[in-house]
Amino acid sequence: MSDKNGNRFAEESLNNNHIEDNKQLNDLGKLSELRSLLLGIEEPQLNRFYEKLDNPQVDAEDISGILPEAIVLRTMKDEQLSEAMVPTVEQAIQSSVKKDINILSQAIFPIIGPATRKAIASALDEMLQSFNYALEHSLSPQSLKWRIEAKQTGKSFAEVVLLRTLVYRVEQVFLIDKQSGLMLQHVVAPKIEAQDPSLVSAMLTAIQDFVKDSFNVRKHEGLHTLEFGELTIWIEQGPSSVLAGIIRGNAPEDLRLVFQDAIEKIHLLLGREFKNFSGDTEQFAASKPYLEACLESHYKNPNKTRYIYAWASVGALAIALGTWGVFEYRENKRWNNYVQKLQAQPGIVVTKTGKRNGNYFVAGMRDPLAIEPKSLIKQANLNPKKLDFQWQPFLSLERKFVIKRAAKLLQNPKTVTLKLDNNGVLQATGSATREWILSAREKEPSLSLLGITEYQDKTLKDLDIDQLNTYKKEIEEILVLFEQGTTKLLTGETEKLSILSSKVQNLIDAGNSLEKDVSVEISGHTDTEGDFEANIKLSQKRARSILNYLTSQGIDKNRLTTKALGDQNILRPESTPEDKKVNRRVSFKVIIDDVAK
Amino acid sequence: MLQKKICMVGAFATGKTSLVAKFVYSIFSEKYQTTVGVKIDRKTVKVKEQELNLILWDLYGEDEFQKLRTSYLRGSSGFLLVADGTRKSTLQTALELQERVEGSIGKVPFILVLNKWDLQDEWELDAESIEAIESKGWIVIKTSAKTGLNVEEIFYTLATKILEE
CATH number at residue A405: 3.30.1340.30
- Partners of B5 on chain A (C-beta within 8 Å) are 180-182, 202
Q: In this complex, do A203 and B4 lie within 8 Å of one another by their Cβ atoms?
A: no
Q: Which range of residues forms the domain containing residue B104? A: 2-164
Task: Tell whether A212 is within 8 A of chain B (Cβ).
Answer: yes
Distance from B88 to chain A by nearest Cα, in Å?
31
By the 8 A CB rule, do B6 and B76 touch? yes
pLDDT category at A126 given cuts 50, 70, 90 is low
Task: Tell whether B127 is within 8 A of chain A (Cβ).
Answer: no
Task: Tell whether A283 is within 8 A of chain B (Cβ).
Answer: no
Q: Which range of residues forms the domain containing residue A509? A: 465-594
Eight-state DSSP code of residue B77: S
Q: In this complex, do B40 and A280 lie within 8 Å of one another by their Cβ atoms?
A: no
Residue A99 lies in a domain: no
CA–CA separation, A184 and B75 (whole Å): 14
Among A198, A216, A223, A276, the strongest candidate for a mutation testing the B interface, having the largest count of B CBs within 10 A, is A198
Q: In this complex, do B71 and A213 lie within 8 Å of one another by their Cβ atoms?
A: yes
pLDDT number for residue A259: 92
Higher pLDDT, A429 or A44: A429
Whether residue A448 is found in the same domain as residue A469: no
Judge whether residue A18 has pLDDT over 70: no
By the 8 A CB rule, do A240 and A267 touch? yes
Whether residue A275 is found in the same domain as residue A231: yes
Instruction: Provide the greatest CA pair distance for chain B.
Output: 44
By the 8 A CB rule, do A530 and A486 touch? no
Distances (CA, A) of A139 to A134, A136, A309: 9, 7, 12
Distance from B159 to chain A by nearest Cα, in Å?
12
pLDDT number for residue A387: 85
Chain B: residue nearest A219 by CA?
B71
Chain B: residue nearest A185 by CA?
B1
Task: Tell whether B37 is within 8 A of chain A (Cβ).
Answer: yes
- E strand residue ranges, A504-584: 516-524, 560-564
Of the candidate ranges A116-130, A252-266, B25-39, B93-107, the one whose mean pLDDT is the lowest: A116-130
pLDDT number for residue A10: 45
Eight-state DSSP code of residue B81: E
Task: Tell whether A511 is within 8 A of chain B (Cβ).
Answer: no
- Partners of B69 on chain A (C-beta within 8 Å) are 209-210, 213
Judge whether residue A385 has pLDDT over 80: yes
By the 8 A CB rule, do B60 and B38 touch? yes
Task: Tell whether A182 is within 8 A of chain B (Cβ).
Answer: yes
Distance from A214 to chain B by nearest Cα, in Å?
10
User: CATH number for the domain including A541?
Assistant: 3.30.1330.60
Helix or strand holding residue B31 (H, E):
helix B31-35
Task: Tell whether B23 is within 8 A of chain A (Cβ).
Answer: no
The most confident of A138-152, A243-257, A540-554, by mean pLDDT: A540-554
Residues in CB range of B99: below 8 A, 6 or more apart: none
Residue A545 lies in a domain: yes
Distance from B46 to chain A by nearest Cα, in Å?
15
Q: Which residues of chain B have pLDDT under 70?
A: 29, 33-35, 64-66
Whether residue A169 is found in the same domain as residue A295: yes
- Partners of B32 on chain A (C-beta within 8 Å) are 203
CA–CA separation, A294 and A262 (whole Å): 8
Query: Nearest CB to A209: which of B1, B5, B72?
Result: B72
Whether residue A343 is found in the same domain as residue A459: no
Beta carbons within 10 angstroms of residue A279's beta carbon: 19
Q: Exposure string (b/e) for B32-55, b if CB count within 10 Å is 16 or more? A: bbeebbbbbbbbebebeeeebbbb
Whether residue A472 is found in the same domain as residue A459: no
Residue A469 lies in a domain: yes
Whether residue A426 is found in the same domain as residue A488: no
Chosen domain end from A365, A393, A421? A393
By the 8 A CB rule, do A181 and A201 touch? yes
Q: In this complex, do A180 and B5 lie within 8 Å of one another by their Cβ atoms?
A: yes
Query: Nearest CB to B75: which of A180, A196, A199?
Result: A180
pLDDT number for residue A56: 62
- Partners of B25 on chain A (C-beta within 8 Å) are 196, 199
Task: Tell whether A280 is within 8 A of chain B (Cβ).
Answer: yes
Instruction: Tell me the average pLDDT of chain A.
Output: 84
- Partners of A199 on chain B (C-beta within 8 Å) are 25-28, 40-42, 55
Q: Is B48 left (phi over 0), alpha (psi -120 to 50) or beta?
A: left
Of the candidate ranges A74-88, A270-284, A474-488, B27-41, the one whose mean pLDDT is the lowest: B27-41
Percent of chain A whose predicted confidence (pLDDT) is above 90: 31
Residue A549 lies in a domain: yes
By the 8 A CB rule, do A417 and A446 touch? no
The pairing of beta strand A425-433 with beta strand A454-456: parallel
Chain pair A-B, CB pairs under 8 angstroms: 71
Task: Tell whether A79 is within 8 A of chain B (Cβ).
Answer: no
Q: CA angle, corner A49, sides to A46 and A54, nearest 5?
A: 125
Number of domains in chain B: 1
CA–CA separation, B44 and B137 (whole Å): 26
Q: Is B116 left (phi over 0), alpha (psi -120 to 50) or beta?
A: left
- Partners of B165 on chain A (C-beta within 8 Å) are none
Number of domains in chain A: 5
- Partners of B159 on chain A (C-beta within 8 Å) are none
Chain B: residue nearest A280 by CA?
B2
Eight-state DSSP code of residue A58: P
Task: Tell whether B79 is within 8 A of chain A (Cβ).
Answer: no
CA–CA separation, B76 and B19 (whole Å): 20
Residue A194 lies in a domain: yes
Whether residue A244 is found in the same domain as residue A361: no
Task: Tell whether A176 is within 8 A of chain B (Cβ).
Answer: no
Of the candidate ranges A32-41, A166-175, A433-442, the one whose mean pLDDT is the lowest: A32-41
Helix or strand holding residue B36 (H, E):
none
DSSP 3-state percent helix, strand, coil across chain A (nearest 5): 55, 20, 25
Higher pLDDT, A216 or A330: A330
Q: In this complex, do B36 and A206 lie within 8 Å of one another by their Cβ atoms?
A: yes
Q: What is the pLDDT averaged over residues A215-228?
A: 74
Q: Is A370 left (phi over 0), alpha (psi -120 to 50) or beta?
A: beta
Residues in CB range of A586: below 8 A, 6 or more apart: A479, A480, A482, A522, A523, A524, A525, A542, A543, A546
Judge whether residue A509 has pLDDT over 90: no
Sequence-distant contacts of A452-459: CB under 8 A, at least 24 apart? A452/A402, A452/A406, A452/A420, A452/A424, A452/A425, A452/A426, A453/A423, A453/A424, A453/A425, A454/A423, A454/A424, A454/A425, A454/A426, A455/A425, A455/A426, A455/A428, A456/A425, A456/A426, A456/A427, A456/A428, A457/A427, A457/A428, A459/A427, A459/A429
Instruction: Provide the greatest CA pair distance for chain A.
Output: 187
Distance from A275 to chain B by nearest Cα, in Å?
13
By the 8 A CB rule, do B55 and A200 touch? no
- Partners of A212 on chain B (C-beta within 8 Å) are 71
Among A184, A186, A201, A203, the strongest candidate for a mutation testing the B interface, having the largest count of B CBs within 10 A, is A203
Whether residue A457 is found in the same domain as residue A543: no
pLDDT number for residue A161: 73
Query: Nearest CB to B75: which of A179, A199, A212?
Result: A179
Whether residue A281 is found in the same domain as residue A231: yes
Chosen domain end from A349, A377, A393? A393
For A493, phi then psi, to 5°, come to -80, -25
CA–CA separation, A195 and A197 (whole Å): 6
Q: Is A116 left (phi over 0), alpha (psi -120 to 50) or beta?
A: alpha
Select from A180, A173, A174, A177 the least CA-distant residue to A273: A177
pLDDT category at A14 given cuts 50, 70, 90 is very low
Distance from B71 to chain A by nearest Cα, in Å?
6
Residue A131 lies in a domain: no
Whether residue A485 is found in the same domain as residue A423: no
Q: In this complex, do B2 and A280 lie within 8 Å of one another by their Cβ atoms?
A: yes
Task: Tell whether B163 is within 8 A of chain A (Cβ).
Answer: no
Task: Tell whether A281 is within 8 A of chain B (Cβ).
Answer: yes
User: CATH number for the domain including B39?
Assistant: 3.40.50.300
pLDDT category at A194 given cuts 50, 70, 90 is confident
Whether residue A492 is found in the same domain as residue A558: yes
Of the candidate ranges A88-92, A405-409, A549-553, A560-564, the one whose mean pLDDT is the lowest: A88-92
Chain B: residue nearest A210 by CA?
B36
Residue A127 lies in a domain: no
Residues in CB range of A175: below 8 A, 6 or more apart: A183, A184, A185, A186, A241, A242, A243, A266, A284, A287, A291
Q: What is the pLDDT averaged over residues A120-144?
A: 67
- Partners of A203 on chain B (C-beta within 8 Å) are 28, 32, 36, 40
Query: Nearest CB to B42: which of A196, A207, A281?
Result: A196
Task: Tell whether B57 is within 8 A of chain A (Cβ).
Answer: yes
Residues in CB range of A421: below 8 A, 6 or more apart: A427
Whether residue A489 is found in the same domain as residue A575: yes
pLDDT number for residue A9: 46
Query: Nearest CB to B5: which of A181, A196, A207?
Result: A181
Q: In this complex, do B74 and A210 lie within 8 Å of one another by their Cβ atoms?
A: no
Task: Tell whether A100 is within 8 A of chain B (Cβ).
Answer: no
Q: What is the pLDDT averaged over residues A112-125?
A: 71
Select from A154, A329, A177 the least CA-distant residue to A241: A177
- Partners of B55 on chain A (C-beta within 8 Å) are 180-182, 198-199, 202
pTM across the whole model? 0.46
